[in-house]
Structure formats: C-alpha cells, structure tokens
Amino acid sequence: MNDSVEEATPVAAVDLSRHPCFNREAHQRYGRLHLPVAPRCNLQCNFCNRKFDCMNESRPGVTSTVLKPEQAAAYLHEIVTERPEITVVGIAGPGDPFANGTETMETLRLVRRQHPEIILCLASNGLGIASYIPELAELRVSHVTLTINAVDPAVAAKIYPWIRNGKQPLRGLAAAELLLERQWEALRLLKQHGIIAKINSIIIPGVNDEHIPEVARRAAQLGADIMNCIPMIPVSGAFFEDLPAPDNLMTSRVRLTCGQHLPQMAHCARCRADAVGLLNEKMTDRHLERLNRFAQGALLKGRERPYIAVASQEGMLVNQHLGEAARLLIFRQSADTESGFKFVEMRPAPEPGTGSHRWHELAAVLHDCRAFLVNAAGPAPKSALGEHGIEVVEMEGLIEEGLRAVFNGQSIPASLKRRFTGCGSGSSCRGSGTGCA
C-alpha cells in the first residue's frame, strides 16, 4: 500500500470554528446532533456491548431509539429551528453507518438538501466506508472519524473477535488483517477527497496501550488531521468488562506519545448515538420524549384511525401468527354493545409467496386500522406495517382484552404479552404461511 497522501480535491469550505468536537474553543457555544439511523454493526469489539434505551448511559453505541431517514430529517428540522446553536449533524451509530449504508446515505442526502449550511460528519470503524467516500465528498461531509485501534494484526485480533465482510464472517488474524487494510485504505481515500479525518483509538490496558503510538505514526503518514485517544469504559456484558479503565497516568502517557505524531483532542464527551446539544449537555426526559415522538410518528398518526385488525382462528382469541392469517377480523368501538366493541367485517389477507411485497399489500388492506393484534410477528412485516402507521401488537388471550387496551391507548397487560423469537429468516422470509419470521 502506498503510504503517501495523494493531492486532495478540497471539500467546499467549511467554517471549522463552528464544530465543537474539532475546535475546543467552540464546544461551549455550538452544539451537535447525532441521528441514530444505523443500528447494525459489521464487527464486534471486545470492549463494546451496545445497549439501547437507557438515559443514564452516556457512551458511544447507546441510543433510546432508531430513526428512519425521513424521521431523522423531520427531527433535525424541529431541533435546529428551535436551537440555532446546533451547527453539526453526525451519524455515529448505534452500529456502524456503513453497515447501514442505504439508511446513512439517504439521511445525509435529505439533511444536505434541507440544510445546505450545516456541517456533516460521520464516525465509522472504516470496514465498509470506502465505496461511499466519493459521494460523501459530493455531499460535503467535511469530517469523518475512523476508529483504529491497532497497526499489528496480532493486536487487532485481541480486540475484534469477528468482522463481517459483506455476508462473509471472518475471525482471528484473517479478520484483523482485512479490517486494518480497509481502515488504512479508508483514511487514504478520505484525504484524497479532501475530507478532514480524525482517528479515534480506544486505550485498552494491557492490550494496546503501548501500541497506540504506532497507530498515530501510521495515521500521520497517511495525512490524518487529529487524533482522539479515548480511555476504555468497562461495560457490563462486554468481553473486556473485567479489565480496569485506564488511569489518568496511562491516558496522559499515551496522548503525550501520540502527540509527537498528531495533534491530540482532549475534550471528547464520548457522545451517545442520539446525543443532542452542547458537548456538556446531558440527555433529559424531554430529549428522549421528542426523539421517540419522531420514531413513532407514523404510529401516532395511525391512532386516529377507527379500526383494529385481529388474527384469530375462531374469533375469540388472538391465536394466529401474522404470516399465517388468511383472514383478518376487523373491530371498532361501539357504545351499543356490552363489551364496548363491535365486529365490522372479515377481510382476506394477501396471498403468500410475494416476499416483502406481501406486507405492503397487507398495509393497504389495513389502511383504516390503527393496530393489528397477532400472536406473533417477525421484524419484516412489523417494519413494513409500522411505516404505514399500523402498530403490530403481539399478544395471546382474549380479543376483547387486547382491543380494550389498544383502543384506550394503554399497554397490553403483562399477562397477555408475548414476545416472538424469529426463526432467523428475517428479510428473506417469503411469507409462505408456514410461520412468520
């Protein structure tokens, strides 16, 4: 690999003074907004255990919810209208942006069209970013952070138990060698396209704390602009959970040594994937309520509809999987019945065998329904119906009890809840009627 930096094609001029992460003087005046649109990850780090929906967890990989690109764009518009000090929009997970390339790029396109002046940035492990870099430059993504924790594959293999190259899983040295090759190539391409590159390195005591200066040296050769040496946070459930966090002396030593090669960033807030506001601003209930409001926007709108659909074999119990239901029972509220509900009609479900199209056809059949009570449902139909504002409620028990809870805007009672574990087919499910994945 050529370690020299090719002549860059500059990204349009960006006012770096307004980026709180890359300019220490700006972090008390300007803020950032992270859009959590990338839930999947293409590798596993031994220091990471991604945990959702915990306001008190302030670390990378944590978010309260995940947004679709159009939800993220609407959420951003409301935030920046209210808070003009938000000058930076970033995508940093909760997985890796380029394990979710379609969602990431669509979000960036929407944001750039609606807010041409805003600073765009990304954080990635570098494994899958390379093919997207030319368009990132066209979209004027000015800053990209690459997390690179080693130069030596033997060290990297201690940090990453596996990676996924497309659909191919790799482990051990083979995984480490490919990951490092992709990371250094990503850095070279970023600089070739005039994008500011920051290197994040996680300081892991006894694993790479003495090795990180080699990362700094190599990154400097390839033109990296700045480096952030981040003390590892021991996380419950992670492979390295019992390793101690680096003390101040170790952190200072690593930063001082790496500073001989690259400027060091020392004011990192180790932001969540849904962070919003100034760097020192903590997540609040109001932040999370607003985020979840946009994530559930289609469902909230759907609750204005008059009907609820039910998957039932005999009309008394919710006892069919979504994919098995050939007929759909439709109910509405009624003051004229003892139960408070009235059966309206029976509708045929779309024929199986059309894959994901079946679920969008089902959404059309249920266009006037706010919810669908089923015994179990997989992620593909739930996602498709959710996009159309139809909430899929998994439960088992009497239809009347489910109708009462949903029509009254209440949660399904714990005694009725059922959580389905899919068979693993996921998006490849053809909706054959033999079960729902």
- State mean pLDDT over 169-194: 96
1 lies in some domain? no
- State mean pLDDT over 324-334: 93
Rounded distance between C-alpha atoms, residue 176 and residue 152, angstroms: 9
Choosing from 232, 260, 295, the residue where a domain stops is 295
CA distance between the termini of the chain = 44
- State mean pLDDT over 112-141: 93
Q: Would you state the pLDDT for residue 387?
A: 83
Q: What is the CATH number of the domain that holds 180?
A: 3.20.20.70
Q: Do residues 218 and 261 both lie within one domain? A: yes
pLDDT at 332 over 70: yes
pTM, two decimal places: 0.66
Q: Would you state the pLDDT for residue 6?
A: 40
Residue pair 174/190 in contact by the 8 Å Cβ criterion: no
- Structure-model confidence comparison of residues 109 and 429, the more confident one: 109
Q: Which 8-state DSSP code applies to residue 11? A: P
330: left (phi > 0), else alpha (psi -120 to 50), else beta?
A: beta
- Structure-model confidence comparison of residues 257 and 379, the more confident one: 257
Pairing mode, if any, of strands 162-165 and 43-44? antiparallel
Q: Do residues 165 and 137 both lie within one domain? A: yes
- State mean pLDDT over 23-46: 81
258 lies in some domain? yes
Q: Do residues 213 and 245 both lie within one domain? A: yes
Q: Do residues 199 and 348 both lie within one domain? A: no
* The total number of structural domains that make up the chain: 2
Choosing from 295, 325, 345, the residue where a domain stops is 295
- State mean pLDDT over 217-226: 95
Q: Do residues 94 and 211 both lie within one domain? A: yes
Q: Do residues 358 and 291 both lie within one domain? A: no
The three-point CA angle 268-88-50 to 5° equals: 55
Q: Considering only CA atoms, which of 95, 155, 83, 117 is closest in space to residue 13?
A: 117
Q: Do residues 131 and 260 both lie within one domain? A: yes
Q: Which single residue is written with the structure tokens 């996680």? A: 202
Confidence label for 354 from pLDDT (cuts 50, 70 and 90): low
- State mean pLDDT over 126-134: 96
Q: Do residues 303 and 291 both lie within one domain? A: no
Which residues are registered as beta bridge partners of 165?
Answer: 168
Can you give the residue range of the structural domain that contains 321?
Answer: 299-428
Choosing from 248, 280, 295, the residue where a domain stops is 295
Q: What is the CATH number of the domain that holds 310?
A: 3.30.420.130
- Structure-model confidence comparison of residues 79 and 329, the more confident one: 329
- State mean pLDDT over 173-183: 96
Q: Would you state the pLDDT for residue 433?
A: 33
Q: Do residues 276 and 406 both lie within one domain? A: no
Tens-place pLDDT, residues 109-125: 989 988 888 899 999 99
Q: Would you state the pLDDT for residue 16?
A: 66
Confidence label for 24 from pLDDT (cuts 50, 70 and 90): low
Lowest mean pLDDT among 198-202, 344-348, 375-379, 407-411: 407-411
Residue pair 112/122 in contact by the 8 Å Cβ criterion: no
- State mean pLDDT over 249-257: 95
What is the per-residue DSSP string for 59-103?
Answer: STT-BS----HHHHHHHHHHHHHH-TTEEEEEE--BS-GGGSHHH
What is the per-residue DSSP string for 216-274?
Answer: HHHHHHTT--EEEEEE----TTSTTTTSPPP-HHHHHHHHHHHTTTS-B--------TT
Q: Do residues 238 and 138 both lie within one domain? A: yes
When the pLDDT of each residue in the chain is averaged and rounded to a whole number, the result is: 83
Cα radius of gyration rounded to whole Å, the chain: 25
418 lies in some domain? yes
4 lies in some domain? no
Lowest mean pLDDT among 279-283, 328-332, 401-405: 279-283
Confidence label for 4 from pLDDT (cuts 50, 70 and 90): very low
- State mean pLDDT over 81-91: 86
Q: Do residues 269 and 368 both lie within one domain? A: no
Q: Which single residue is written with the structure tokens 């990471």? A: 48
370 lies in some domain? yes
Q: Do residues 94 and 55 both lie within one domain? A: yes
Q: What are the distances in angstroms from CA 228 to CA 189, 208, 218, 396?
A: 20, 15, 15, 51
6 lies in some domain? no
Contacts of 182 (CB under 8 A, 6+ apart): 126, 127, 128, 129, 130
